[in-house]
Amino acid sequence: MKTIDLHIHTTISDGTYTPKELVDYAVKKKLSAIAITDHDTMDGIQEAADYIRRNKFPLELIPGMEVSTSSSVSFFGLHILAYFIDKNENEMATILNSVHNNIGVNSINTEDAIKLITKLGGITSLAHPQDYGLSMDQLDKLLGELVSYGLKGIEGLYTTHSEEYIKQIKKIALHHDLLITGGTDFHGLRKPDVDLGSGFGNMTIPYDILSSLKDIAVTDK
């Protein structure tokens, strides 16, 4: 089965692997696709993409980012994963300027972030939902609000999620017509127990998840 990891950090934010080192490790782990999702920046994407292309690695790279947003729901706000902000060189420069100007070091609110990412052609997913300490009823209410802004997915497969929690997330995702996304939140040595592609060692993220995201991305173009 082809496997992937859609939540990864590099030295461009708070990970310990450079974009090139991350690519090398993903190839070693025989992953079919990865998404680099550094915090509030996409500065490492081009380096990784060029490295993959030069070496003709059998690895698919999804342009991504983890956006920090302010929200009354959680003390540290909500994190929104953004995927498929992928344009030509001139368009990418414009997008990155917009991202940095609108997000930068000061987080924007969740509504504005989701709407901005959607406007730029991206697909959004709520990252690590269990970390916000919400009951399922509270999460259900929150997702209803976020969907109204344009949210398309929720990170149901995540390193710390139990099988029971994943079942609950899948049920609530179905209620809101949301896609399930998946990632380990790999940070290298900053989270030494969390491995790329497998989390604590028993995690599997199937390529079908990425296929579903691609279908949405194409439909929304």
pLDDT the model gives residue 221: 56
Q: Mapping DSSP to helix (H, G, I), strand (E, B) and coil, where does residue 31 land?
A: coil
Query: Does the pLDDT value for residue 24 go beyond 90?
Result: yes
Buried b / exposed e across 60-87, counting CB within 10 Å, b at 16+? bbbbbbbbbbbbebbeebbbbbbbbbbe
- The full set of domain ranges for the chain reads 4-220
Right CATH number for 4-220 from 3.30.980.10, 3.40.50.10470, 3.20.20.140, 3.30.160.60? 3.20.20.140
> pLDDT digit string (tens) for 134-176?
999 999 999 999 999 999 999 999 999 999 999 999 999 999 9
pLDDT at 219 exceeding the cut of 90? no
The model's pLDDT over 100-130, given as tens digits with 9 standing for 90+, comes to 555 554 557 899 889 888 888 889 999 999 9
- Per DSSP bridges, beta strands 108-109 and 60-70 are parallel
**207 pLDDT tier (thresholds 50, 70, 90):** very high
Question: How far does CA 75 lie from the centroid of its chain?
Answer: 21
Percent of the chain exceeding pLDDT 70 equals 88
Enumerate the H helices of the chain as residue ranges: 19-28, 45-55, 89-102, 110-119, 136-149, 163-175, 207-220
Number of neighbouring beta carbons within 10 Å of residue 36: 30
- Counting residues of the chain whose pLDDT is more than 90, the rounded percentage is 73
pLDDT of residue 197: 98
pLDDT at 9: 98
**C-alpha distances in Å from residue 41, one per residue of 21, 54, 71, 204:** 18, 23, 20, 27
Output the pTM of the full model: 0.91
Tell me which of 26-30, 79-83, 119-123, 161-165 is least confident. 119-123
Looking at per-residue pLDDT, the higher value among 96 and 30 belongs to 30
Q: With 60 as the cut, is the pLDDT of residue 98 above it?
A: no
Mean pLDDT score, 194-221: 91
Query: What is the mean pLDDT of the segment spanning 9-28?
Result: 97
Q: Does 99 have pLDDT greater than 80? A: no
Average pLDDT over residues 18-32: 98
Average model confidence (pLDDT) across the chain:
90
201 has pLDDT over 60:
yes
